[in-house]
Amino acid sequence: MSQSISVNELPAVMNVYNRFPIELVKGKGSYVWDKEGKKYLDFTSGIATCNLGHVPEPVHKKLSEQLASLWHCSNLFAIPAQEELAQKLTYHSCYNQVFFCNSGAEANEAAIKLAKKYAKDQGNPERTEIVTFHHSFHGRTGTTMAATAQEKIHQGFEPIVSGFRYLPLNSKDVLSQIDNGKTTAVLVELVQGEGGVRPVEQEWIIALEDYCRQSDILLMVDEIQTGIGRTGTLFAYEQFGIKPDVMTLAKGLGSGFPVGAMLARQEVAASFQPGTHGSTFGGNPLAMTAGAATLDVMLDKQFFQEVVDKSRWLFEALHELKANFPIIKDVRGYGFLIGVEFSENAADIVAAFRDKGVIVLAAGEHVLRILPPLTATWEEIKVFIHTLTGILVEGENNTK
C-alpha cells in the first residue's frame, strides 16, 4: 500500500525550475508586484515574452471580447482569427504561409518535420540531417533538445534523437562542412539568447544563405526570442539582409498568451498537407486574437522608431559603464535583447538587482541578459542604468 504524503512534505509541482524567491501576483506595464506588495521593475519581460509590457490594454480589450464569445474549437473548422493573424504575419514578412502551434519548441518541431518532408518531396530522401550551432537553444522536447548544441541540455537524456550536426557559429571555415550529402536544412538563431546573447555576423549569415541556396539546403531561422520586435524590427532577419526559407516564432507573439508559429515560403510550405502535421490547441481563437492585437500595436509607424532610439541610448549607457568598470567585459546584442558579460558570476548581479527592486536574468555563468518591454519608458530605462551603476560602485567599494 502506498504511503500517503502530506502537501508540506512534498511539493505537488515537479522541481524543474530554479525559481526566484518571489511570488508574483500582479503585473502592469513594465512592473510586477509580489504577494507582499513589493513593486519590481521587470526587465525580463517574462523571458522576452511580454514585449508590450504586462497586460497591455489593446490586447486585454480584444481578449476580453473573445472570452465572451468562443474560447476553443477544433482545427477541423475555419477559424477567422487564424487567417487574420496569418495575413498580418505574411504581409509583413517574406513568407507565404503559417502553421500555428502553442510554443517555441512546437514551432521548431514543425520546422524540423517540414524540412525532412520537403527533402523527400524534392526527391532527396537521403537528406535527413539538420545543422545547428554551438551554444544554440531550440527547446526542451526530445527533438528540439537534440537540435540544441549544448551538452548540459543533453545530460541525463542520452541517447538523444539523431539527425543533428553541430558546428561553430560565425566561422567561415564551417561553410564547406555543411553539405555532407545528407543535410536538408540549417537551423540558426540570429541572436543566441540562452547561449549568452551571441549575434551572428552579418557577413557570415549572408554567406551562409548563399551557400544554402546553391546547395538546395533550407535556411531556417529560430526567431522565438528575437522575433516580434525584440531586436528593433518586427523580425530580426530584416536587419541582416537575408530572406530565410523558414522562420519560427513564439514568446512575444501573444503578449504572454501561449502561441507559436512556423512560417515558410510557399514551395516549402506545400510539403505540409492534411495528415502531415497538426495541433489540438494550435491556432485557437484566444491565441490568435492575442497575436493579432499585439501586431496591431507594433505596426504603428512610430512604434519601432521609439524602440530603436531607446535601445541606442541604453547601449551607449552600458558601453560607458564598460569603460569605467573593468568587471564588464563585453556589451552585445540588438534592440532590447542585450547581453552584458562580466568577469564575475552574473547570478550575484541578478540577486543584487532583485534586492533593489529590479528583475533581470542571466544567460550562462557570466552574462546578464537585459530584456526590457519594448514599451519601457525613458525614465524606466534610466532607473535600470542608475541601479546597475549603484551595484557596480558597491561592488568596487566591497573589494577595496
Domain of residue 169, CATH code = 3.40.640.10
Helix axes 80-91 and 285-298, enclosed angle (nearest 10): 30
Closest listed residue to residue 193, CA positions, set 224, 218, 217, 167? 224
| pLDDT for the residue numbered 363 | 94
- The residues, any chain, with a CB within 8 Å of residue 62's CB and separated by 6 or more, are 289, 290, 292, 293
Q: Of 298, 320, 352, which residue sits at a domain end?
A: 298
| pLDDT for the residue numbered 110 | 98
| Same domain as 311, residue 279 | no
Closest listed residue to residue 201, CA positions, set 176, 169, 175? 169
Q: Of 298, 317, 344, which residue sits at a domain end?
A: 298
Give the cell for residue 231.
531586436
- Write down how long the chain is: 400
Residue 10 lies in a domain: no
| pLDDT for the residue numbered 206 | 98
| Same domain as 62, residue 52 | no
| Same domain as 391, residue 328 | yes
| Same domain as 197, residue 285 | yes
> Model pTM?
0.94
Are residues 290 and 255 in contact, defined by beta-carbon separation less than 8 angstroms? yes
| pLDDT for the residue numbered 207 | 97
| Same domain as 247, residue 152 | yes
Query: Please, is 148 exposed, middle or buried when counting C-beta atoms within 10 Å of its C-beta (0-12, 13-18, 19+)?
Result: buried
- The segments of the chain whose pLDDT lies below 70 read 1-8, 400
Residue 19 lies in a domain: no
| Same domain as 288, residue 309 | no
Tell me the CATH number at 364.
3.90.1150.10
Residue 241 lies in a domain: yes
Q: Of 298, 321, 354, which residue sits at a domain end?
A: 298
Number of domains within the chain: 2
| Alpha-carbon span 254 to 222, nearest angstrom | 17
Domain region containing 66: 57-298
Q: Quick one: the chain helix, strand, coil %, rounded to 5?
A: 40, 20, 40
| pLDDT for the residue numbered 6 | 54
